[in-house]
């Protein structure tokens, strides 16, 4: 029997492309785009919008999927055709018999369609599993002679074939694989497991991918239920947790390695970078000794710091800039943003911001804009890493602060609402000194009023909204607020959840990767580590 080139993931995922969110291209051109370089062929807003629309049409064209920077129809792939032809022949023979038995020979009146489609799917999957199992077990080419090199440098000896049960998305596969044992280090290995990507797991790559998908979106308990209900795979919640977190850890490591620019042609004239933080509930043992906002000074949460990059070349009905659909990418983690003045190294979060800026070619845009809520660590990082960027305090955050401050001056009254509304109007009109003046008489009695006054005063150059609007800049897209909610809140802040540091960071990495449209790229690198 000839040796079969076998790639589950490609067979399974043929006519599909998950997300057009980010137009990602080749990642071979690894290099940093740091520094205020300007792209030679920068696009105008109109050009950018037109070319982006064309690219989206290309992505939504079914049957193709992005492979690096080109599009390949998998049905043209000879390996793919060979495997599917084999499976198809067996299916045609056996399924026809089974379906006849299910459907009976009579009329279709009174037939329970759901029962039939469910039973048929189960049988088709079981049959495909059998076909693949037989085919793999008949191929003994993984026995590559009496000895192979062991990782310890000595020779490992062939020690027969051994069984392993692998949970695939088709059901269980019982695989026989050649085993090599090393007498020097007492270790052993299975060449086929390495080739199939099942070396340290009993789940096939496509099963791991499903676990990662549900683990990034819903609780591990719900994920386990969804896998059972939709895919017929029984994996308990704690196993979903372990495997989703292990995958997230791989993604986090991959994110640190791959900082090369994505999307070769489509650089919008203005790019926005947003920085924000949001607290998530942690397990008690993760918080020991940490100061927090509880009345006894203890902490219940830790802050996830998030960096988002997007463009806003689209215009709404009034001609105001609007975030471009699908242009947002996220990177986030619970990590430090503080760097002592004497430190030689940047903080972990500063490094994260640099990596994301490099991937999105942020510093090559004609205009760089940093939008944030005004926390000091944000502007320290901005000043350090992106000194040429226009700094804007998110208008939404300022208005929120004004609305929060009003009741602490006037109580929860109608007067408080009117006061806040008047200050927000002044903010939009650029009358910042009027706001500071309105806060001054209350500063002595209200700590909130004093804080708010200082906040407006210190950030006044970042709140010149009428000027920013004249320049066509977006000052409150809601991207930051939505980003914290979508990327972090909806998954990590649900009631009853308490995270470990590592667990949270894994799921955050997994979620950011998927929401940024990079899961497919990661998966290709994972399946083909040599090409990556």
What span, in angstroms and rounded, lies between the C-alpha atoms of 27 and 34? Answer: 16
- Which of the residues 154 through 213 are near Zn ion (CB under 5 A)? 154, 182, 184-185, 187
Options 70-78, 99-107, 143-151, 272-280: segment touching Zn ion (CB under 5 A): 143-151
Among residues 152 and 447, whose Cβ is nearest to Zn ion? 152
Among residues 115 and 152, whose Cβ is nearest to Zn ion?
152
If the CB atoms of residues 157 and 498 are measured against Zn ion, the closer one turns out to be 157
Residue 180 or residue 419: which is nearer to Zn ion going by CB?
Answer: 180
3-state SS, 56-96, equals HHHHHCCCCEEECCEEECHHHCHHHHHHHHHHHHHHHHHHH
**Cα–Cα distance for residue pair 482/495, rounded to 1 Å:** 19
For residue 178, the minimal CB distance to Zn ion (Å) is 16
Give the shortest CB-183-to-Zn ion separation in angstroms: 8
Classify residue 367 by burial, with Cβ atoms within 10 Å: 0-12, 13-18, 19+: middle
CB atoms near residue 289 (< 10 Å): 6
Residue 74: other Cβ atoms inside 10 A: 19
Q: Strand ranges (DSSP E) for 334-472?
A: 367-372, 390-393
Whether the CB-CB separation of 371 and 272 falls below 8 Å is answered with yes
110 or 153, CB closer to Zn ion? 153
Considering only 30, 96, 144, 152, the residue that binds Zn ion (CB under 5 A) is: 152
Q: Binding marks (x or -) toward Zn ion, 218..237, rule CB under 5 A?
A: --------------------
Q: In this structure, which long-range contacts are made by residues 32-37, counting pairs with CB atoms below 8 Å and at least 24 apart in sequence?
A: 32/259, 32/354, 32/358, 33/261, 33/357, 33/358, 33/361, 33/362, 33/363, 33/364, 34/354, 34/357, 34/358, 34/363, 35/363, 36/363, 36/388, 37/363, 37/364
**What residues numbered 360-379 form the site for Zn ion, per CB under 5 A?**
none
Q: Which is nearer to Zn ion, 181 or 525 (CB)?
A: 181
The CB-of-202 to Zn ion minimum distance in angstroms stands at 23
Nearer to Zn ion, 28 or 154 (CB): 154
Shortest CB 156 distance to Zn ion, Å: 6
DSSP structural state of residue 295: T
Footprint on residues 27-86 left by Zn ion (CB under 5 A): none
Name the segment binding Zn ion (CB under 5 A); options: 44-52, 107-115, 145-153, 419-427.
145-153
Give, as ranges, the residues between 449 and 468 that touch Zn ion (CB under 5 A): none
What are the structure tokens assigned to 320, written together?
């105001």
Only segment of 44-52, 149-157, 418-426, 498-506 that touches Zn ion (CB under 5 A):
149-157
The region of 148-156, 168-176, 397-405, 427-435 touching Zn ion under the rule CB under 5 A is 148-156
Q: Are 363 and 34 in contact (CB under 8 A)?
A: yes
When the beta carbons of 182 and 354 are compared against Zn ion, the nearer one is 182
Q: How far is the CB of 151 from Zn ion (least distance, A)?
A: 6
Number of residues that bind Zn ion (CB under 5 A): 7
Would you say 193 or 373 has its CB closer to Zn ion?
193
In whole angstroms, the minimum distance from the beta carbon of 157 to Zn ion comes to 10
Question: Are the CB atoms for 420 and 406 separated by under 8 Å?
Answer: yes
Q: What 3-state DSSP class applies to 402?
A: helix
Q: How far is the CB of 193 from Zn ion (least distance, A)?
A: 16
Q: Which is nearer to Zn ion, 96 or 152 (CB)?
A: 152
Contacts of 452 (CB under 8 A, 6+ apart): 401, 402, 405, 439
Nearer to Zn ion, 101 or 185 (CB): 185
Three-class DSSP category at 18:
coil
> Residue 196 Cβ, how far from Zn ion at the closest point, in Å?
22
Q: Is the dihedral of CA 201, 202, 205, 209 positive or negative?
A: negative
Q: How far is the CB of 187 from Zn ion (least distance, A)?
A: 5
Selected binder of Zn ion within 11, 21, 132, 150 (CB under 5 A): 150
User: What are the φ and ψ backbone dihedral angles of 146, each rounded to 5 degrees?
Assistant: -70, -20
Q: How far is the CB of 158 from Zn ion (least distance, A)?
A: 14
> In the bound complex, what is the minimum distance in angstroms from residue 188's beta carbon to Zn ion?
8
Summarize as ranges the residues that interact with Zn ion (CB under 5 A): 150, 152, 154, 182, 184-185, 187
């Amino acid at each position: 029997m000839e040796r079969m080139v076998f790639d589950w993931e490609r067979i399974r995922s043929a006519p599909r492309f998950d997300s057009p969110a980010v137009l990602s291209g080749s990642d071979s051109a690894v290099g940093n785009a740091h520094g205020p370089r300007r792209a030679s062929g920068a696009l105008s807003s109109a050009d950018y919008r037109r070319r982006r629309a064309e690219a989206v049409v290309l992505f939504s064209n079914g049957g193709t999927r992005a492979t690096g920077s080109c599009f390949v129809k998998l049905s043209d792939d000879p390996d793919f055709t060979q495997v599917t032809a084999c499976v198809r022949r067996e299916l045609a023979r056996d399924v026809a018999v089974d379906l006849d038995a299910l459907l009976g020979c009579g009329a279709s009146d009174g037939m329970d369609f759901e029962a039939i489609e469910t039973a048929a799917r189960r049988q088709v999957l079981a049959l495909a599993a059998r076909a693949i199992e037989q085919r793999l077990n008949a191929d003994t080419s993984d026995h590559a002679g009496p000895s192979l090199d062991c990782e310890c440098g000595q020779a490992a000896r062939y020690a027969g074939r051994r069984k392993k049960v692998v949970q695939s998305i088709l059901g269980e596969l019982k695989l026989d694989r050649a085993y090599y044992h090393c007498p020097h280090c007492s270790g052993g290995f299975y060449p086929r497991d390495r080739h199939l990507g099942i070396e340290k797991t009993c789940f096939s790559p496509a099963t791991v991918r499903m676990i990662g998908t549900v683990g990034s979106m819903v609780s591990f308990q719900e994920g386990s239920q969804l896998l059972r209900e939709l895919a017929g795979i029984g994996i308990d919640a704690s196993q979903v947790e372990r495997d989703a977190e292990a995958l997230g850890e791989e993604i986090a490591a991959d994110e640190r390695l791959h900082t090369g620019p994505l999307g070769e042609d489509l650089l919008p004239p203005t790019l926005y970078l947003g920085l924000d933080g949001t607290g998530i509930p942690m397990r008690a043992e993760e918080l020991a000794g940490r100061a927090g906002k509880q009345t006894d000074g203890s902490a219940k949460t830790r802050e996830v710091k998030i960096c988002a990059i997007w463009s806003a070349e689209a215009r709404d009905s009034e001609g105001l800039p609007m975030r471009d659909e699908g242009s947002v990418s996220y990177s986030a983690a619970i990590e430090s943003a503080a760097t002592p003045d004497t430190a030689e190294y940047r903080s972990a979060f500063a490094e994260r911001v640099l990596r994301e800026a490099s991937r999105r070619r942020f510093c090559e845009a004609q205009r760089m804009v940093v939008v944030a809520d005004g926390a000091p660590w944000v502007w320290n990082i901005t000043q350090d890493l992106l000194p040429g960027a226009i700094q804007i305090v998110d208008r939404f955050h300022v208005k929120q602060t004004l609305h929060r401050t009003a009741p602490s001056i006037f109580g929860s009254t109608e007067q408080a609402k009117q006061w806040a509304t008047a200050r927000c109007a002044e903010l939009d009109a650029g009358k910042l000194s009027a706001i500071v003046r309105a806060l001054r008489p209350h500063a002595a009695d209200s700590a909130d009023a004093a804080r708010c006054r200082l906040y407006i005063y210190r950030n006044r150059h970042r709140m010149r909204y009428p000027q920013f609007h004249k320049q066509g800049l977006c000052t409150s897209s809601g991207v930051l607020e939505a980003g914290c909610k979508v990327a972090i809140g909806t998954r990590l802040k649900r009631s009853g959840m308490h995270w470990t540091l590592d667990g949270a960071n894994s799921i955050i990495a997994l979620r950011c990767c998927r929401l940024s449209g990079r899961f497919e790229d990661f998966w290709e690198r994972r399946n083909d580590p040599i090409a990556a």
